[in-house]
Structure 1
């Protein structure tokens, strides 16, 4: 009796294992769903993102080149080819000291933006932190946002004349009011529990502002600054349109008088390249200062 029990105990597990193995062999294999191109909120890998960016750039330049050759020969000078624009860019840098104009334009952009950020960021943080300050300034600043900066050109020329001060003031006015509004929203988005915890622990208003509000808002504030310096580049040609002797906008305006479309497009490409370089610099600064924010957003 004992021997039969031992034999059964040995046979039954072996039979169970064989049955499980057979059932696993018969079970269908799991095939993960195919990744679709239009997938909600899914970030591509770095390699795929670079490949897609390259395809997008090639598509843009391909449409440009195709448009040039589809244009009638008599009108092709108004839509020059990529090669013609590249040649104009080479001539500008090698023969016409275009690097000096690029330097002057960059200097105007960064000086005006530093001034706008130095004033706008503290005001936006204070408005987002204290309701009374927001009620005091927000209605007026909201109205200023709807005034086009280009409409102040005659007034700035009267005040400063055709000088660098007028151009820097125009670039400053084109950025500061929108920057204040964005920083206000960034500060208001901080969870109120953080501030309440500081008050509960007996922190003063200055300590809460310096130790809680500012560190919590800074990643979003840097993103807002990155977006607004892009807007500043869009105002460059407008700022350099009147009375400018140097700068990228001045070169483009002189080229427009002689219908040198290749030079105009070379200036546009230069502004675009400088804007992308500025954006990459801001991204690098944000990554160094707030690495946890980059990981959270990815």
Structure 2
């Protein structure tokens, strides 16, 4: 070892550094990136574990099968609801209410969030008001909405709107504040006016965050669906679940819960596809 080191110095060569041992790749480690195949495999594994645990719990004798049906019974009830009881019409009614109410919420919250995040005076004016309203439970408005709007679709859409719009405006304002100040100063230096900077810099830089925030808040809208449809409703997933409650059809109730979960998962996947198609340059930074 000493001879080789002396020879290398004599010949004018730098001594070779000992190589560090290669780090062993762990199955669970920080900062890992997964391709879509591994994500799909892990997602399917999680679902299989959940269904298997549900099956074991349903057959463990903790409750009667009528009160706690297993996954097979719930799937049979779901097929019967679609084939025999016209459940597709209820699903379409619920989706329509979600789409209308959430579109209205975005139409109201997006301009408010953009202006609140961009201008401190507007934020100082509106943030205390919206911040207080978002802590009010949406079901508390049901008596007022029934008196003001009756028992039709307007009352249900208004309840879904109230449950989302205040949170959405505050969260969109937080996204707007993340625009680097250097971008705004550069645009102003180049002669951009307030309207131009707001649209071409602030809004466009925040657009990926807006879409991601809307994706998350859409899940909140689905959580309020049953509450909106249990009061004087004749159609919708929540109305079907209330009808099933009268006859103690727990399998139908759980089938409705499964339907809401699957619909929410489908809408979330749609948002992800649009996000990846519209913002491919952020694909690596927003793998969730």
Return the TM-score normalized by structure 1: 0.88
Task: Tell me whether 1:277 sits opposite 2:266 in the alignment.
Answer: yes
Q: Give the Cα–Cα distance (whole angstroms) in 2 for the partners of residues 207 and 158 of structure 1.
A: 44
- Equivalent residues in 2 for 1:105-254, closer than 5 Å: 105-254=94-243
Q: Which residue of 2 aligns with 1:32?
A: 22
| Cα deviation digits, residues 158-184 of structure 1 (max 9, x gap) | 111111000000000001000001100
Q: Give the Cα–Cα distance (whole angstroms) in 2 for the partners of residues 232 and 87 of structure 1.
A: 28
Change (3 A) 1:49 1:31: farther
Deviation at 1:32, TM superposition (A): 3.5
- In the alignment, which of 44, 62, 84 is matched to residue 54 of structure 1? 44
| Cα deviation digits, residues 43-84 of structure 1 (max 9, x gap) | 223222211111111100001000011025x62211101111
SS at match of 2:66: helix
SS at match of 2:59: helix
Deviation at 1:35, TM superposition (A): 2.3
SS at match of 1:92: helix
Q: Give the Cα–Cα distance (whole angstroms) in 2 for the partners of residues 79 and 29 of structure 1.
A: 60
Deviation at 1:286, TM superposition (A): 1.0
Deviation at 1:28, TM superposition (A): 9.6
- In the alignment, which of 87, 91, 94 is matched to residue 83 of structure 2? 94
Moved more, 76-85 or 216-225: 76-85
Structure 2, gaps ≥5 residues long: 1-7, 9-15
SS at match of 2:64: helix
Deviation at 1:40, TM superposition (A): 1.3
Q: Give the Cα–Cα distance (whole angstroms) in 2 for the partners of residues 177 and 71 of structure 1.
A: 44
Moved more, 137-146 or 39-48: 39-48
Corresponding residue pairs, total: 275
SS at match of 1:38: coil
| Cα deviation digits, residues 249-287 of structure 1 (max 9, x gap) | 000011111111100000000000000000011111111
SS at match of 1:281: helix
Structure 1, gaps ≥5 residues long: 1-15, 17-23
Return the TM-score normalized by structure 2: 0.91
Change (3 A) 1:94 1:190: same
Change (3 A) 1:153 1:79: same
- Equivalent residues in 2 for 1:56-95, closer than 5 Å: 56-72=46-62, 75-95=64-84
SS at match of 1:50: helix
Q: Give the Cα–Cα distance (whole angstroms) in 2 for the partners of residues 151 and 133 of structure 1.
A: 28
